[in-house]
């Protein structure tokens, strides 16, 4: 069985993972989140510099925890998109270096497909068909999935503006809470009443897209509530605002995910992405799925956020499915839509080979640290 090295650098986490035949053997993860706190969000250039410093140590950490040698790696997978352009380029460059030095295939994979693939490490192969809710800082989508390595991904609905995680970050700033907003808002909500404020449930009306999302208006409703309290000279009830906002987001996600399962006749719901680590969302989704007779699959919280294990898991699926790698033609595509597990390689007009792996580079002629 092939040993696959996965590298993730799409945002502010530098991740490396080693997977063989659906089993996670080792991983390394570093975050530059603390460096972005004073900016209230991720600064691409700061994230990229952090990746440059961390990517080799994280690969070494994954190799060490797996108890293998770097020379044992049979294939490399890397996040090629979507993500922050400077950050993606660091990971792709590193992956090309490793693949060239080791003379192994290189796969450029889609970040969101990686989020779906990571659940395989914990719960085994995905069912033949399932509905997937991806809910993260930059994406909120409902998908219909088949064979993740071979089949195209069908979008049932996506967010038209702010993603759920982005809304958490913006609400955190409104409430004077620390970045990143997801954990901060969730912590503040522990002392609040989720029914204290009747915030709207966006895109749930009879004329709205059944599986579409929009959280910009909800964020605006929170801003108006905070402004009204400040204008009246009242203290902003941060715990109640946080709890009520959080429940509004959770309510929308649960409603639409369950509706998608019902309309598609799916008996399995896969929920992935950074926001899937939210404990209230996990509990409410579990309760609703149990009542509806739907199997809910959610990775452990540590696997929900960006990590190298998910990219290695997706690469492992591609290798086992016999999918052709892109090799050194792999490039970063920051805004690539999710249509399948691999990120398509833009081809120059009239160019057939598109930078194939050079046969003149002998295995071991370049040293990989």
Query: 138 a known binding residue?
Result: yes
Angstrom distance (rounded) from CA 40 to CA 249: 21
Q: Is pLDDT above 50 for 249?
A: yes
Q: Is pLDDT above 80 for 366?
A: no
Pairwise pLDDT comparison (27 vs 354), residue with the higher score? 27
pLDDT at 349 (0 to 100):
53
Query: 136 a known binding residue?
Result: yes
Query: 119 a known binding residue?
Result: no
pLDDT grade for 355, boundaries at 50, 70 and 90: very low
Residue 236 and residue 229 in contact, taking contact as beta carbons nearer than 8 Å: yes
Angstrom distance (rounded) from CA 264 to CA 221: 32
pLDDT grade for 357, boundaries at 50, 70 and 90: very low
pLDDT at 40 (0 to 100):
84
Query: 83 a known binding residue?
Result: no
Angstrom distance (rounded) from CA 137 to CA 165: 4
Angstrom distance (rounded) from CA 248 to CA 252: 6
Query: 191 a known binding residue?
Result: no
Cα–Cα separations (whole angstroms), residue 128 to 42, 179, 319, 332: 37, 39, 19, 30
Angstrom distance (rounded) from CA 287 to CA 204: 20
Query: 115 a known binding residue?
Result: yes
Query: 123 a known binding residue?
Result: no
Query: 278 a known binding residue?
Result: yes
Query: 316 a known binding residue?
Result: no
pLDDT at 112 (0 to 100):
96
Tell me what the pLDDT averaged over the chain comes to: 93
pLDDT grade for 2, boundaries at 50, 70 and 90: very high
Which are the contacts of 244, defined by CB distance < 8 A and separation ≥ 6? 192, 193, 194, 195, 196, 197, 198, 199
pLDDT at 221 (0 to 100):
98
At CA 252, angle to CA 247 and CA 258, rounded to 5?
120
Q: Is pLDDT above 50 for 352?
A: no
At 42, phi and psi to the nearest 5?
-75, 130
CA within 13 Å, CB half, 267: 3
Cis peptide before 137 (omega within 30 of 0): no
- Look at residues 218, 285, 220, 217 and name the one whose alpha carbon lies nearest to residue 246: 218
Domains and CATH numbers, the chain: 3-119+304-329 (3.30.420.40), 127-298 (3.30.420.40)
pLDDT grade for 348, boundaries at 50, 70 and 90: low
pTM given for the model: 0.91
């Amino acid at each position: 069985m092939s040993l696959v090295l996965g590298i993730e650098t799409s945002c502010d986490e530098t991740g490396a993972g080693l997977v063989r035949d659906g089993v996670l053997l080792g991983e390394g993860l570093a975050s530059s989140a603390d460096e972005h706190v004073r900016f209230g969000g991720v600064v691409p250039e700061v994230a990229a510099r952090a990746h440059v410093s961390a990517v080799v140590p994280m690969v070494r950490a994954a190799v060490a925890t797996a108890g293998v040698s770097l020379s044992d790696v049979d294939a490399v997978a890397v996040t090629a998109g979507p993500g922050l352009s400077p950050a993606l380029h660091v990971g792709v460059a590193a992956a090309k270096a490793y693949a060239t030095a080791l003379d192994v295939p290189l796969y450029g994979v889609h970040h969101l497909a990686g989020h779906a693939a990571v659940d395989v490490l914990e719960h085994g192969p995905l069912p033949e068909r399932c509905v997937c809710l991806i809910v993260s800082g930059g994406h909120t989508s409902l998908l219909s999935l088949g064979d993740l390595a071979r089949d195209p991904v069908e979008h049932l609905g996506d967010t038209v503006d702010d993603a759920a995680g982005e809304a958490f970050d913006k609400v955190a700033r409104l409430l004077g809470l620390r970045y990143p907003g997801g954990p901060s808002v969730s912590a503040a909500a522990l002392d609040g009443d989720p029914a204290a404020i009747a915030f709207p449930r966006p895109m749930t009306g009879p004329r709205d897209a059944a599986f579409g999302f929009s959280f910009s208006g909800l964020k605006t409703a929170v801003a108006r509530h905070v402004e009204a309290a400040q204008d009246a000279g009242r203290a902003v009830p941060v715990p109640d605002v946080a709890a009520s906002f959080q429940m509004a987001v959770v309510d929308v996600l649960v409603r639409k995910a369950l509706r998608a399962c019902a309309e598609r006749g799916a008996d399995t719901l896969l929920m992935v992405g950074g926001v899937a680590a939210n404990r209230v969302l996990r509990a409410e989704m579990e309760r609703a799925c149990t009542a509806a007779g739907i199997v809910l699959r959610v990775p452990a919280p540590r696997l929900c956020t960006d990590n190298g294990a998910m990219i290695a898991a997706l690469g492992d699926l591609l290798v086992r499915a016999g999918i052709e790698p892109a090799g050194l033609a792999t490039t970063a595509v920051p805004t690539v839509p999710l249509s399948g597990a691999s990120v398509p390689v833009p081809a120059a007009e009239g160019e057939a080979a598109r930078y194939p792996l050079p046969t003149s580079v002998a295995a071991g002629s370049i040293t990989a640290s």
